[in-house]
Amino acid sequence: MSMRRRDFIVIAGAAAGAAVIGRRYITGGIRSVVPDASARGTSEVTPNNEFYITHYNGIPELTDAEWSLKITGEVEREVELTLEDLKRLEETLDYNTLICIGNGIGGSLIGNARWRGVRLGDVLRLAGVLDGAVDVVLHGADGYSDSFPVEKALHPDTRLVYEMNGEPLPQAHGYPLRAVVPGLYGIKNVKWIERIEVAAEEVLGHWQKRGWSREGRIKVMSRIDVPGDGAVIGSGVHTVSGIAFAGEHPITKVEVSTDGGGTWREAALKPPLSRYAWTLWSYEWAVPGPGVYTLAVRAADESGRVQEPGNAITRRAFPDGAWGYHSIRVRAV
């Protein structure tokens, strides 16, 4: 799905939503900021200033002094915490890749960072989740909300984070607190969290009310980063490389085709930085001679899910994420 199409969907959805009153914003409106795809390489960690940005109602400008986290709903006791209170809990530090549900085939709305924070389950236990609770709803200071089942919230790898790549969480990425939820698209990884609601029934988030996926499970994806689409290359051996990611399950295989899907060869994989981080892959291609070649990539994960070629319909992000092979064309001279 092109960025033009993505912007249309996001803006159209926002028109039906309520604006947040009395909040300071660095910027207003809804937009996605995408790294320059023409300049990207393949790196294990995405610098903060190159990590993709999406926001629903502008970027709230929050301060430690005015911010707190409230836990309400189906709990034994309501709790209000400061950032310092959170930092007294046992910390977690690990790499996680985030990907936007609106990311198109071969798109740049994906990045990998090292996040420091605490387990969401530890925070919820301070309030005591009541029996019969169904969903945990995260509410952002920008008016955005999304939810997932209590079981996912209590998973030890579901986190609330306050640092990104060794720095305080940038304002654009959710300062002072955001969620990092392995296996789920970015719509579930709510930013600028100021309230956690434990609900006795299923609660639809902002985008689910507009037809997007309730589950938000990340599909198997892979992308060619080098060479770039339309590149002119010489004779000899060239390295074809990129990333592959499957959310909750590590990548186990990547295959590359240099003849438009006629034949496939297995690529070499670099061990990921964590279970929930993308995998870097590379393939040494001996160019047969001058001509135009179509290169494609596909991947499979630990659970047995295999990336499928897709079609014109499945390559659209709406409603539950795009799927299909990423392919490029290069000319050898």
Quote the CA–CA distance of 168 and 178 in Å, as a whole number: 12
Same domain, yes or no: 134 and 16: yes
Characterize the bridge pairing of strands 145-149 and 167-168: unpaired
- Helix and strand numbers, DSSP H then E, in the chain: 4, 21
> Is residue 296 within 8 Å of 262, Cβ to Cβ?
no
Same domain, yes or no: 44 and 169: yes
Per the structure, how many domains does the chain have?
A: 2
Characterize the bridge pairing of strands 167-168 and 178-180: unpaired
Q: Pull the structure tokens for residue 78.
A: 């309501």
Quote the CA–CA distance of 329 and 59 in Å, as a whole number: 38
Structural domain ending residue among the three candidates 210, 237, 254: 210
Return the closest-CA partner of residue 174 out of 193, 192, 162.
192
Same domain, yes or no: 162 and 202: yes
CATH label of the domain that carries residue 185: 3.90.420.10
The tokens 């939503």 sit on which residue? 17
Same domain, yes or no: 247 and 144: no
Return the closest-CA partner of residue 293 out of 195, 224, 190, 198.
224
Structural domain ending residue among the three candidates 210, 239, 267: 210
Residue 59 lies in a domain: yes
Amino acid at 15: A
**DSSP string computed for 239-288:** EEEEEEE-TTS-EEEEEEESSTTSS-EEPEEEPPSSTTS-EEEEEEEEE-
Question: In the beta sheet, which residues pair with residue 29?
Answer: none
Domain that residue 168 falls in: 3-210
Same domain, yes or no: 28 and 152: yes
Peptide bond preceding 227 in cis form (omega within 30 of 0): yes
| pLDDT score at 55 | 87
Residue 241 lies in a domain: yes
Residue 301 lies in a domain: yes
Same domain, yes or no: 59 and 145: yes
Quote the CA–CA distance of 330 and 229 in Å, as a whole number: 6
Same domain, yes or no: 266 and 171: no
Same domain, yes or no: 186 and 290: no
Structural domain ending residue among the three candidates 179, 210, 241: 210
Same domain, yes or no: 230 and 190: no
Same domain, yes or no: 66 and 203: yes
Quote the CA–CA distance of 40 and 255 in Å, as a whole number: 21
> Is residue 301 within 8 Å of 246, Cβ to Cβ?
yes
Q: Could you list the pLDDT tens digit for every one of the 333 residues in the chain?
A: 232 222 222 222 322 232 333 334 343 333 455 555 444 557 999 999 999 999 888 899 999 889 999 999 999 999 999 999 999 999 999 999 999 999 999 999 999 999 999 999 999 999 999 999 999 999 999 999 999 999 999 999 999 999 999 999 999 999 999 999 999 999 999 999 999 999 999 999 999 999 999 999 999 999 999 999 999 999 999 999 999 999 999 999 999 999 999 999 999 999 999 999 999 999 999 999 999 999 999 999 999 999 999 998 899 999 999 999 999 999 999
| pLDDT score at 11 | 22
Query: What's the pTM value of the predicted model, to 2 decimals?
Result: 0.89
Residue 215 lies in a domain: no
| pLDDT score at 312 | 87
| pLDDT score at 333 | 96
Residue 268 lies in a domain: yes
Residue 216 lies in a domain: no
CATH label of the domain that carries residue 275: 2.60.40.650
Quote the CA–CA distance of 259 and 275 in Å, as a whole number: 32
**DSSP string computed for 111-162:** EEEEEEEEEHHHHHHHH-BPTT--EEEEEETTS-EEEEEHHHHTSTT-EEEE
Q: Pull the structure tokens for residue 57.
A: 């109602």
Residue 176 lies in a domain: yes
Same domain, yes or no: 57 and 205: yes
| Region label for 107, one of left (φ > 0), alpha (ψ between -120 and 50) or beta (otherwise) | beta
Same domain, yes or no: 275 and 240: yes
Residue 317 lies in a domain: yes
